[in-house]
């Protein structure tokens, strides 16, 4: 932590030194929003009067070099660190939990699902359906971008995709088998507005279900309050609302209630309620196709 502050202090000091030169360089290079956000967060957004600055060519080159050396790592550190902090506040890195998913139709009819989930590290998660009876025993497994579905009657795991939904409704497989956000997304931009952080996230690869996320997070708790899931063309697919922060014990204080709506499913909504989130370590062998029929044996 002390190291973080030291690096940030050094970086801010360097920014103050090179600020006028960097502004000119920025204009010249047409610097992207990442850098603009950097200025904003550093409280150093240049004012228009600085446009008049004349910069010696050598000074500009030196400034740019410094920026290239320091800016990118420091920016990545801040945005990614914040996202990683949000991830850890949401869940321990390895844990088990129970969830209830409720699909609510426009006429108020509901369909409920209960799941038991286990997660390990950055890329392994499995979920087992406990209710309703029609889904009981189904399990889903995700190892990185590989996803499988096991249906007891069918008797063997089949590969599925992140965009499919094994339960119908607004939640899809990716929502059910959510990995850490920092594992799947790069931070493109971070802004502070009032009591909130606003993070713009870009999928690290095409295999991620949503190409872009816009995340609003509580600045004090460092927990998301709202996430918009968007396509590459910025079309809104769904919005997640995080509510009812609760102490689950073991240092996990996080929203216990997640509500989702989607313009693709007008007047429908889905709710996810979290329970018994407990830090727990599992052997890697648990997250394998061969183990899928036995996930229930992990429940105590």
**Which helix (H) or strand (E) covers residue 215, if one does?**
strand 212-218
Other C-beta atoms closer than 10 Å to the C-beta of 266 total 8
Q: How far is the CB of 230 from another protein (least distance, A)?
A: 14
Q: How many CA atoms lie within 13 A of 214 on its CB side?
A: 11
Q: Which residues are paired to 95 by β-bridges?
A: 119, 279
Distance between CA atoms of residues 190 and 160, nearest Å: 33
Q: Are 242 and 223 in contact (CB under 8 A)?
A: yes
Which pair of tokens denotes residue 173? 């497989």
> Which of residues 191 and 234 has its CB atom nearest to another protein in the complex?
234
Segment interacting with another protein (CB under 8 A) among 74-82, 87-95, 201-209, 222-230: 201-209
Which pair of tokens denotes residue 222? 């460092």
The correct pick among 132, 249, 251, 263 for binding another protein (CB under 8 A) is 132
Q: Which residues are paired to 180 by β-bridges?
A: none
Distance between CA atoms of residues 55 and 60, nearest Å: 6
Q: How far is the CB of 231 from another protein (least distance, A)?
A: 9
Q: Give the x/- contact pattern for another protein in 161-200, rule: CB under 8 A.
A: xxxxx--xx-------------------------------
> Which of residues 15 and 208 has its CB atom nearest to another protein in the complex?
208
Q: Is residue 282 involved in binding another protein (CB under 8 A)?
A: yes
Q: Give the x/- contact pattern for another protein in 238-277, rule: CB under 8 A.
A: -------------------x-------xx-x--x-x-xx-
The correct pick among 102, 122, 223, 236 for binding another protein (CB under 8 A) is 102
The correct pick among 4, 93, 112, 191 for binding another protein (CB under 8 A) is 112
Q: Is residue 137 involved in binding another protein (CB under 8 A)?
A: yes
DSSP designation for 47: P
Distance between CA atoms of residues 115 and 126, nearest Å: 10
* Residues near 147 by beta carbon (within 8 Å), at least 6 away in sequence: 140, 141, 159, 160, 161, 162, 173, 177
Q: For residue 75, which of 67, 87, 65 has the smallest C-alpha distance? A: 67
Cα angle for residues 114, 115, 118 (degrees, 5° grid): 160
* Main-chain phi, psi angles of 273, to 5 degrees: -110, 135
Segment interacting with another protein (CB under 8 A) among 3-11, 80-88, 133-141, 183-191: 133-141
Segment interacting with another protein (CB under 8 A) among 21-29, 81-89, 192-200, 279-287: 279-287
Tell me the site size for another protein, rule CB under 8 A. 63
Q: Is residue 207 involved in binding another protein (CB under 8 A)?
A: yes
> Which of residues 41 and 254 has its CB atom nearest to another protein in the complex?
254
Segment interacting with another protein (CB under 8 A) among 74-82, 177-185, 220-228, 284-292: 284-292
Q: Among the residues of 131-207, which ranges form H helices? A: 173-176, 181-184
Contact residues: another protein, CB under 8 A: 98, 100, 102-103, 105, 109, 111-112, 114, 116, 130-134, 136-137, 143-146, 151-156, 158-159, 161-165, 168-169, 206-209, 257, 265-266, 268, 271, 273, 275-276, 282-291, 294, 296-297, 299-300
């Amino acid at each position: 932590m002390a190291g973080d502050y030291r690096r940030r202090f050094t970086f801010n000091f360097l920014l103050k030194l090179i600020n006028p030169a960097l502004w000119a360089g920025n204009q010249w290079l047409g610097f992207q929003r990442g850098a603009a956000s950097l200025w904003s967060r550093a409280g150093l957004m240049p004012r228009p009067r600085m446009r008049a600055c004349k910069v010696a060519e050598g000074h500009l080159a030196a400034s740019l070099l410094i920026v290239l050396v320091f800016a990118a790592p420091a920016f990545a550190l801040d945005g990614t660190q914040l996202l990683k902090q949000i991830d850890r506040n949401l869940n321990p890195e390895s844990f088990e939990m129970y969830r209830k998913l409720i699909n609510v139709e426009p006429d108020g009819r509901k369909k409920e699902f209960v799941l038991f989930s286990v997660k390990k590290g950055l890329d392994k998660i499995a979920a087992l359906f406990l209710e309703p009876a029609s889904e009981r025993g189904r399990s889903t497994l995700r190892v990185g971008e590989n996803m499988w579905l096991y249906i007891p009657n069918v008797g063997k795991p089949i590969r599925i995709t992140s965009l499919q939904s094994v339960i119908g409704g607004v939640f899809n497989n990716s929502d059910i088998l959510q990995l850490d956000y920092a594992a799947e997304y790069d931070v493109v931009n971070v802004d502070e507005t009032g009591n909130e952080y606003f993070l713009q996230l870009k999928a690290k690869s095409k295999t991620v279900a949503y190409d872009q996320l816009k995340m609003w997070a509580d600045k004090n708790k460092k927990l998301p309050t709202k996430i918009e899931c968007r396509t590459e063309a910025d079309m809104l697919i769904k919005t997640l609302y995080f509510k009812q922060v609760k102490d689950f014990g073991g240092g996990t204080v996080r929203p216990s209630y997640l509500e989702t709506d989607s313009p693709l499913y007008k007047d429908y909504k889905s709710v996810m309620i979290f329970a018994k989130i407990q830090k727990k370590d599992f052997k890697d062998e648990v997250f394998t196709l061969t183990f899928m029929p036995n996930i229930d044996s992990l429940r105590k």
